[in-house]
């Protein structure tokens, strides 16, 4: 217990520093705020698309790289919805930053240097393949060699550089005698740059969690306003829902949640994600739209794309582990997690001290409405990555907040 408290204290200290970089307002001009995008050889980014049909056995990944990696349109859900893969952050971010108004083409004018390396896709292509660790690390080593030749890298040892990585931190921290992932974030030469990831290492000050890509990519302020109006009038016929599957890991509470949910089927709807059922976004999003609370236990790692899918659908996430959200996203989620979620300690669920359904039933309609109003009106626009061609004026999306905070950090340090 003491070890966990010390760990959380350290995580709090880091988050406090990271929150100090949040830009107070949208930058109205780019004076002294230039962003330089390296023109890396394509093998480090879009060249990885070439074998998209071979990345994962049994899944043709190519359909996810269409429309600037937003994927194919989901017309059943309305305008702005796409079948976006959970690991598509890198090409989505790359497409957006190429058109950023503060982009500069002279390194001397730059405050921030963006390295468009698709490290997550590099990791993904080796999952479940019997290849050597040396082969898995080939692109990572070549990238560091390339960067070390750049005078702009040498100038500040990479401290003013940023990587955007579309997988979790642990996938880039392969341990000794392990085979999963690459060594990208363990290389001494890459300790200094800032990394934006869908899941940060809680005790690494140079890592910031940013939202998983959701299925909604608005092309205008009007599309965001239309979704907000729709989410306010939709009938939420389920008090609770859980879209997921059990896990064999002994620490997982998923089996307990499934049992509690199915035992109270009049209040809780379980959507079984076995056999890849949740790869189809439409039924999952419709379930979230029709639910008051969405259960979000950890999966293969603490964070879940599903947490952001539920928020974008106006469903209040129920979080069971503080590193699922509260210690992950300092620029995009408020410090007070009670504003957007319900927290139930997973240890109390394991020890049968808490029945989740019975606990959630006690939350009043007024309390639910207050949380949901904040989610829909304030939070949802900040969590989506808009269409690269969009020109938002009323709202800042997840990309805007990330880039503005990057520039603020670069200015301060």
pLDDT truncated to tens, each residue of the chain (413 aa)?
Answer: 667 677 778 888 989 999 999 987 765 678 888 999 999 999 999 999 988 888 877 778 899 999 999 999 999 999 999 999 999 999 999 999 999 999 999 999 999 999 999 999 999 999 888 899 999 999 999 999 999 999 999 999 899 999 999 999 999 999 888 899 999 999 999 999 999 999 999 999 999 999 999 999 999 999 999 999 999 999 999 999 999 888 777 778 999 999 999 999 999 999 998 887 788 899 999 999 999 999 999 988 999 999 999 999 999 999 999 999 999 999 999 999 999 999 999 999 999 899 999 999 999 999 999 999 999 999 999 999 999 999 899 999 999 999 999 999 988 87
Nearest to 18, CA basis, from 195, 186, 201, 207 = 207
| Distance from C-alpha of 316 to C-alpha of 338, rounded to nearest angstrom | 10
Threshold 0.85, pTM exceeds: yes
- The boundaries of every CATH 3.40.50.2000 domain in the chain are 222-383
Q: Are 360 and 346 in contact (CB under 8 A)?
A: no
- Rounded to 5 degrees, φ, ψ at 150 are -90, 130
| Distance from C-alpha of 17 to C-alpha of 53, rounded to nearest angstrom | 41
- Rounded to 5 degrees, φ, ψ at 236 are -95, 90
Q: Would you say domain 222-383 falls under CATH 3.40.50.620? A: no
- Tell me how far CA of residue 108 lies from CA of 33, 37, 111, 163, in angstroms: 11, 13, 9, 20
């Amino acid at each position: 217990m003491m070890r966990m408290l010390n760990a959380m204290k350290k995580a709090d200290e880091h988050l406090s520093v990271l929150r100090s970089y949040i830009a107070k307002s949208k930058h109205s001009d780019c004076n002294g705020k230039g962003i330089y995008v390296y023109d890396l050889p394509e093998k480090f980014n879009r060249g990885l698309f070439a074998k998209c049909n071979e990345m994962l056995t049994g899944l043709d990944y190519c359909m996810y790289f269409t429309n600037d990696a937003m994927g194919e349109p989901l017309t059943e859900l309305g305008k702005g919805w796409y079948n976006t893969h959970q690991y598509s952050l890198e090409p989505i971010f790359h497409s957006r930053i190429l058109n950023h108004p503060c982009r500069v083409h002279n390194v001397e004018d730059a405050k921030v240097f963006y390295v468009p390396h698709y490290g997550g896709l590099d990791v993904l292509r080796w999952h479940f393949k019997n290849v050597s660790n040396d082969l898995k690390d080939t692109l990572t080593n070549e990238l560091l060699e390339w960067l070390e030749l750049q005078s702009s890298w040498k100038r500040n040892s990479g401290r003013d550089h940023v990587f955007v990585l579309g997988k979790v931190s642990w996938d880039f921290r392969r341990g000794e005698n392990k085979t999963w992932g690459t060594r990208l974030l363990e290389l001494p030469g890459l300790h200094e740059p800032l990394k934006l990831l869908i899941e940060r290492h809680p005790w690494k000050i140079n890592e910031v969690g940013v939202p998983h890509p959701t299925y909604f990519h608005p092309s205008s302020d009007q599309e965001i306003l239309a979704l907000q109006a729709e989410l306010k009038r939709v009938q939420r016929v389920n008090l609770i829902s859980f879209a997921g599957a059990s896990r064999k890991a002994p620490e997982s509470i998923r089996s307990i949640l499934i049992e509690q949910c199915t035992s109270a089927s009049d209040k809780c709807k379980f959507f079984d994600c076995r056999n890849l059922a949740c790869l189809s976004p439409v039924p999952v999003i419709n379930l979230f739209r029709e639910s008051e609370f969405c259960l979000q236990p950890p999966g293969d790692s603490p964070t879940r794309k599903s947490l952001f899918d539920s928020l974008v659908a106006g469903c209040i996430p129920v979080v069971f582990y503080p590193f699922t959200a509260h210690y992950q996203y300092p620029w995009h989620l408020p410090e007070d997690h009670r504003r957007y979620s319900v927290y139930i300690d997973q240890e109390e669920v394991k020890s049968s001290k808490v029945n989740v359904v019975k606990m959630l039933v006690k939350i009043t309609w007024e309390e639910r409405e207050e949380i949901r109003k904040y989610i829909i009106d304030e939070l949802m626009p900040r969590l989506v990555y808009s269409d690269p061609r969009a020109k938002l004026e009323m709202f800042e999306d997840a990309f805007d907040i990330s880039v503005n905070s990057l520039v603020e950090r670069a200015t301060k340090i």
